[in-house]
């Protein structure tokens, strides 16, 4: 990565396809860290919040700016389940499939979301990029089973009939 110090330009090397302005913001964030040591997860959180996921090119960028190997970055990304290397929709839908949720019909909730979103599969993004569906092991709100999260918003005791209205909240 290079920044032309005289003109303030930010130049990405070839092979980077994602928006340059997001890389610029990420580079500024990393430069603003008090120290690079011990802040890799912080930098990765910022990168994922900017790009929505952590593809190989973003991991490479973070590695270069944090002065660590790409293998080290990949190890962290693949270890923590919060990080994703798969693109998510603007409104990521997470359906709890823990025991309490599954027992009261979480699988029917998944199917209802799939149908309402045009047949999109779990781990896929709708063609308009607005929604993605994922299943989680447990979100720790068993009293609200079955539980659906869209972004940070939590829906409890969800029924298949409510899915259309839940989606409408974000359309």
- Residue in this structure with the two tokens 């930010």, named with its chain if needed: 10
User: What is the homologous superfamily of the domain 91-169 according to CATH?
Assistant: Glutaredoxin (3.40.30.10)
Look at the alpha carbons of 72, 136, 152, 150 in this order and tell me if their dihedral is positive or negative.
positive
- pLDDT per residue as tens digits for the range 45-99: 999 989 989 999 999 999 999 999 999 999 999 998 779 898 889 899 999 999 9
The whole model's pTM is what?
Answer: 0.66
| Between 159 and 14, residue with greater pLDDT | 159
Residue numbering of the annotated binding site for [2Fe-2S] cluster: 96, 101, 138, 142
pLDDT of residue 1: 45
Residue numbering of the annotated binding site: 96, 101, 138, 142
Tokens at residue 81, please?
């389940």
Going from N- to C-terminal start, the domains of the chain cover: 20-79, 91-169
- pLDDT per residue as tens digits for the range 8-32: 456 676 778 889 999 999 999 999 9
Region 152-171: mean pLDDT is: 95
Instruction: Kindly tell me if the per-residue pLDDT of 171 is higher than 60.
Output: yes
Exposure string (b/e) for 110-134, b if CB count within 10 Å is 16 or more? Answer: bebbbebbeebeeebbbeeeebbbb
């Amino acid at each position: 990565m290079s920044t032309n110090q005289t003109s303030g330009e930010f130049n990405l090397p070839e092979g980077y396809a994602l928006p340059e302005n997001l890389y610029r913001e990420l580079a500024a964030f990393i430069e603003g860290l008090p120290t690079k040591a011990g802040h890799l997860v912080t930098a990765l959180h910022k990168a994922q919040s900017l790009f929505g996921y952590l593809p190989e090119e973003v991991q490479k960028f973070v590695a270069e700016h944090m002065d660590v190997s790409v293998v080290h970055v990949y190890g962290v990304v693949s270890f923590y389940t919060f990080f994703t290397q798969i693109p998510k929709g603007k409104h990521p839908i997470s359906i709890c499939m823990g025991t309490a949720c599954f027992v009261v019909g979480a699988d029917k909730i998944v199917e209802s979301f799939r149908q309402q979103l045009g047949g999109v599969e779990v781990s896929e993004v709708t063609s308009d990029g607005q929604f993605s569906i994922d299943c989680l092991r447990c979100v720790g709100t068993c009293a609200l089973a079955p539980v659906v999260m869209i972004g940070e918003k939590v829906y409890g005791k969800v029924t298949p009939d409510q899915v259309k209205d839940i989606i409408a909240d974000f359309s």
